[in-house]
């Protein structure tokens, strides 16, 4: 086996259990993907949490052009969809997100370009991630259909997608 695959396999083995060679425990895989997409060490580059690390409020508020989203808005967008996934899994009521609205939230709020406001929104992302991950772990105690598992994989991919966007915005802002 090529050395880079051996290393990758060694990294995955603690997260995944193999009933037989090549068989993966779907529960562990979903949780491993969610953890890697948000905060665990990755091979593909920064995950979502790493992508916003060290960003100031001013950097988070920078826009590449009129009508384009900034890092701050993408951060809250990720928080919102973590809430939405958790709400769906719990069967919760729509409209219970802590911020008014859905999907994207204009940031910074008028007159509130501050490190405190940016930190509060990053903490919101963290809280929503923790709550969503706990609910997913709970739901995965029962067998899931392939469709349900596919939706849960998508949660991790959503984080990776936006981590890439954020990294791109960081580079664009440096120019």
Which of 1-5, 66-70, 98-102, 166-170 is least confident? 1-5
The percentage of residues in the chain with a pLDDT greater than 90, rounded to a whole number, is 69
The arithmetic mean of pLDDT across residues 133-149, rounded, is: 91
Query: Higher confidence at residue 169 or residue 21?
Result: 169
pTM of the model: 0.85
- Per residue in 48-107, pLDDT (tens digit) is 999 999 999 999 999 999 999 999 999 999 999 999 999 999 988 888 899 999 999 999
DSSP characters over the chain: --HHHHHHHHHHTTT---SSTT---HHHHHHHHHHHHHTS--SSS--HHHHHTT--HHHHH--SSTT---HHHHHHHHHHHHHHHHHHHHTPPTT-SSSSSSS---SSPTT---HHHHHHHHHHHHHHHHHHHHHHHHHTTS---HHHHHHHHHHHHHHHHHHHHHHHHHHHHH-
Q: What is the pLDDT of residue 8?
A: 44
């Amino acid at each position: 086996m090529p050395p880079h695959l051996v290393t990758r396999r060694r990294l995955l083995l603690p997260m995944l259990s193999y009933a037989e060679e090549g068989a993966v425990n779907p529960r562990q895989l979903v949780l491993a993907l969610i953890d890697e997409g948000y905060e665990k060490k990755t091979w593909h580059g920064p995950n979502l949490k790493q992508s916003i690390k060290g960003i100031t409020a001013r950097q988070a508020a920078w826009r590449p052009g009129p009508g384009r989203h900034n890092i701050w808005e993408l951060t809250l967008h990720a928080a919102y969809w973590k809430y939405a996934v958790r709400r769906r899994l719990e069967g919760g009521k729509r409209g219970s997100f802590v911020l008014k609205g859905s999907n994207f939230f204009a940031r910074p709020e008028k007159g509130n370009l501050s490190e405190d406001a940016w930190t509060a929104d990053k903490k919101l992302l963290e809280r929503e991630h923790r709550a969503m991950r706990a609910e997913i772990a709970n739901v995965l105690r029962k067998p899931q259909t392939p469709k349900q598992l596919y939706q849960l994989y998508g949660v991790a991919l959503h984080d990776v997608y936006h981590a890439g966007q954020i990294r791109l915005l960081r580079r664009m802002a440096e120019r």
